[in-house]
Amino acid sequence: MICCGCLLKDRVFDAGQFTDAVRRVAAGGTAMDPQVISQLLARRSRDRPMEKLTPREREVMELMAQGRSNTAIAGQLVVTERAVAKHTSNIFAKLGLAPSDDDNRRVLAVLAYLDRGARE
């Protein structure tokens, strides 16, 4: 099980928000501060597959990295779940993540996203 959490202490303003993040990570999910994710996305590199993503695909990826479901992403971006599914499909294709019975492409995409930031 892969669990990941990164919150900035000066940006946690609400005990409920913090508790929710801890519970999400404890349950095997992720909790990432939007500012951290924005900084990771802002870094540019010309030869990396992540750079092929459109701004909307980056928004979807950011919310995926926060552990959000397609339903939650659709609600936050005010689009349909079908639109989110299309964006995630495009993300998988641009990152070279083919369908597989053995791998979870959503987790692999988030790991690629997080790895990209760690290398820069």
Instruction: Report pTM.
Output: 0.58
SS3 32: strand
Q: Are strands 30-32 and 4-6 parallel, antiparallel or unpaired?
A: parallel
pLDDT for 46 equals 44
SS3 53: coil
Q: Beta-carbon neighbour count of residue 56 at 10 Å?
A: 14
pLDDT for 41 equals 58
pLDDT for 39 equals 63
pLDDT for 40 equals 59
What distance in Å separates the CA atoms of residue 65 and residue 41, rounded to the nearest whole number?
11
For the chain, what is the largest distance between any 2 Cα atoms, rounded to a whole number of angstroms?
41
Q: Beta-carbon neighbour count of residue 13 at 10 Å?
A: 8
C-beta separation of 37 from 21 below 8 A: no
pLDDT tens, the chain, 120 aa long: 555 676 767 666 777 877 887 887 787 777 777 776 666 555 544 456 778 899 999 999 999 988 899 999 999 999 999 999 999 999 999 988 888 777 788 888 888 887 765 455
What distance in Å separates the CA atoms of residue 23 and residue 87, rounded to the nearest whole number?
27
Written as one letter, the residue type at 105 is R
Residue closest to 58 by CA, chosen among 82, 75, 34? 34
pLDDT for 71 equals 95
